[in-house]
Amino acid sequence: MGHQSQFIRYFIQTLSGASLLFAAQLTVSAAPMSGDVPLEIEQPAYQTPWKRYGNWPQEDWSQFNTLDKPRTSIQAPPVGKMQPVPNPIVGDAENGKKLVADRSRGGSCYACHAMPGASLPGNVGPEFFNVGSWGRSDEHLYNYIYDPRAFNPGTVMPPWGAHGVFTQQEIFDIVTYLKTLTGKGGYPDSMENPFTRPEPVEDRDNLDLFENPGMLGQELGEQLYSVAGPNGQSCASCHEKPAQLFKTWATSMPRFEARLNKMLGIEEFITRHARATMDIDYPMQSKQNTGLSIYLRHLANGQAIAMDTSDPNTQAALARGEALSVVKLGQLNFACIDCHDFGAKRWIRGQYLSGVEGMIAHFPTYRTSRTEIWDIRKRLQWCGVAIRANELPPDAPEYGDIELFLNVKNNGKTFSVPGIRH
């Protein structure tokens, strides 16, 4: 393997010969996790204290909704009231033109609206080529930007003013610029037109190491499976034929764990089971945890997701996960369904919004834009940070409920792990 082996040794050089022992009896037919499976249940499953990744935005958005809001005292800012404004509004149109393109302000107006000068505009919202000729009053334009929920409670447009993204004067400038847009407008070519831009097709061979660096994680996991831990046990000690024993196991995860009173996904299971059986720590989202997670799912490649929701606890978790998918989050006030239901198969700038189906069967996934392998919990954390909502630790029960919801929505989809995506 040459350079591949060197890379894998880099991954495991700090392991001190650790591995993972899985319980001898793991069934696929029952929805809940068996109480006989040894688990450490007292400590968090992540590296404590939890800290947001250093290369992610570091702002604190604690004044806005998070997924765990029902368990906290957070009260998000209310819907803004109609704001009195001068008539006419007089602002700086040139500054307004800059502001609508400012990607540091939540993605810019171009993310959802086609406008003059926009490169690869989105189409979640209407075209604004001639918005200045629509006959909207200055008061209407200002307040729709300040807080569109005053007009449409179910809007997917952020409350730019009410949530403090733009100041009053900046919105004055934006309104002044919008009033100058009275031309016909149009797109220079089909790629710039979000209504004719072709849907992206992922055609890379995700199981080829030379195409997908995520396969290095699979190789790491396969090696760890046979490496003995401090107590002399390895995964292989109890499971000599992993390809046979784990052919379908991953397709039924996450499962409800009564001792933790929540859904338990593969990554958290690895952490807690390793602690209980080997006295070794593979915290969630560590290279070792992710490698084993990829390996266990890789063994199920080609098998269909088969979630069993027959027991009451799993049914309750599924209901919670579906309810969480409609909760508005963060400074930008987005819910999961805003992008992946209402906005599905549309564009935000040059990024295509996928629907829920097909979303999870390739995780953990190598992200080319980040040059990292992400499990599904890390992807959910990033979704929050991207809309300016504080993320939760990776073992948060809310993420387990959403993971269950996504898997049920993808029942019947076949595993192909590790994935590769932008």
The reply to whether 253 falls in a domain is yes
Enter the tokens of residue 109.
């107006």
Q: What are the b/e assignments for 215-250, b being 16+ CB within 10 Å? A: bbbbbbbbbbbebbbeeebbbbbebeebeebbbebb
Residue 279 shares a structural domain with residue 410? yes
Summary mean pLDDT of the chain: 91
List residues bridging with 373 in a β-sheet.
Answer: 366
The reply to whether 35 falls in a domain is no
CB 33 within 8 A of CB 256: yes
Phi/psi for 4 (5° steps) reads -65, -45
Q: Which of 279, 234, 227 is nearest to 40 (CA)?
A: 279
Q: Determine the Cα–Cα distance for residues 148 and 134; give it in Å rounded to an integer.
A: 17
The reply to whether 57 falls in a domain is no
Residue 388's contacts (CB-CB under 8 Å, 6 or more residues apart) are 57, 59, 61, 64, 106, 330, 331, 332
End of a domain among 180, 195, 230? Answer: 180
* Separation of first and last alpha carbons in the chain: 27
Phi/psi for 313 (5° steps) reads -65, -40
CA distances, 145 to each of 132, 138, 157 (Å)? 14, 11, 8
263 SS3 class:
strand
* pLDDT, tens digit (0-9, with 9 covering 90-100), for 133-152: 999 999 999 999 999 999 99
pLDDT of amino acid 78: 84
Q: Determine the Cα–Cα distance for residues 238 and 124; give it in Å rounded to an integer.
A: 52
Q: Determine the Cα–Cα distance for residues 298 and 364; give it in Å rounded to an integer.
A: 10
Residue 160 shares a structural domain with residue 224? no
pLDDT of amino acid 106: 83
Residue 291 shares a structural domain with residue 365? yes
Q: Determine the Cα–Cα distance for residues 270 and 97; give it in Å rounded to an integer.
A: 51
The reply to whether 43 falls in a domain is no
* pLDDT, tens digit (0-9, with 9 covering 90-100), for 203-256: 999 999 999 999 999 999 999 999 888 999 988 898 889 999 999 999 999 999
The reply to whether 224 falls in a domain is yes
The reply to whether 261 falls in a domain is yes
Place of tokens 């991953």: 250
* Stretch among 10-19, 75-84, 100-109 having the lowest mean pLDDT: 10-19
As a whole number, mean pLDDT of residues 83-103 equals 96
As a whole number, mean pLDDT of residues 94-114 equals 94
* pLDDT, tens digit (0-9, with 9 covering 90-100), for 270-318: 999 999 998 999 999 999 999 999 999 999 999 999 999 999 999 999 9
Q: Determine the Cα–Cα distance for residues 213 and 370; give it in Å rounded to an integer.
A: 12
Phi/psi for 268 (5° steps) reads -70, -35
Q: Determine the Cα–Cα distance for residues 35 and 256; give it in Å rounded to an integer.
A: 11
* pLDDT, tens digit (0-9, with 9 covering 90-100), for 51-73: 999 999 999 999 999 999 866 65
Higher pLDDT, 81 or 262: 262
Hey, what amino acid is at 376?
I
The reply to whether 175 falls in a domain is yes
Residue 373 shares a structural domain with residue 272? yes
374's enclosing H/E stretch is strand 372-374
Residue 385 shares a structural domain with residue 254? yes
Place of tokens 């999961």: 336
End of a domain among 130, 159, 180? Answer: 180
CB 89 within 8 A of CB 137: no
Hey, what amino acid is at 207?
L
CB 295 within 8 A of CB 250: no
* pLDDT, tens digit (0-9, with 9 covering 90-100), for 317-338: 999 999 999 999 999 999 999 9
Q: Determine the Cα–Cα distance for residues 386 and 421; give it in Å rounded to an integer.
A: 17
Name the pTM for this structure: 0.90
As a whole number, mean pLDDT of residues 90-96 equals 98
List residues bridging with 420 in a β-sheet.
Answer: 366
Domain with residue 173: its CATH number is 1.10.760.10
pLDDT of amino acid 21: 35
Residue 411 shares a structural domain with residue 292? yes
pLDDT of amino acid 3: 38
Residue 395 shares a structural domain with residue 261? yes
pLDDT band at 201 (very low <50, low <70, confident <90, very high): very high
pLDDT of amino acid 81: 87
Determine the number of helices (DSSP H) and then strands (DSSP E) in the chain.
13, 7
As a whole number, mean pLDDT of residues 400-413 equals 98
Enter the tokens of residue 56.
């992610």
The reply to whether 136 falls in a domain is yes
pLDDT of amino acid 369: 94
Residue 237 shares a structural domain with residue 355? yes
pLDDT band at 372 (very low <50, low <70, confident <90, very high): very high
Residue 167 shares a structural domain with residue 221? no
pLDDT of amino acid 72: 64
Give the structural domain span for 101.
93-180
pLDDT of amino acid 272: 97
pLDDT of amino acid 198: 96
Q: What share of the chain is helix, strand, coil (3-state, %, to 5)?
A: 35, 5, 60
Higher pLDDT, 7 or 46: 46
Tally of domains in the chain:
2
pLDDT of amino acid 384: 97
Residue 118 shares a structural domain with residue 164? yes
Q: Determine the Cα–Cα distance for residues 349 and 82; give it in Å rounded to an integer.
A: 29
Residue 374 shares a structural domain with residue 307? yes
Residue 239 shares a structural domain with residue 377? yes
pLDDT of amino acid 338: 96
As a whole number, mean pLDDT of residues 102-111 equals 91
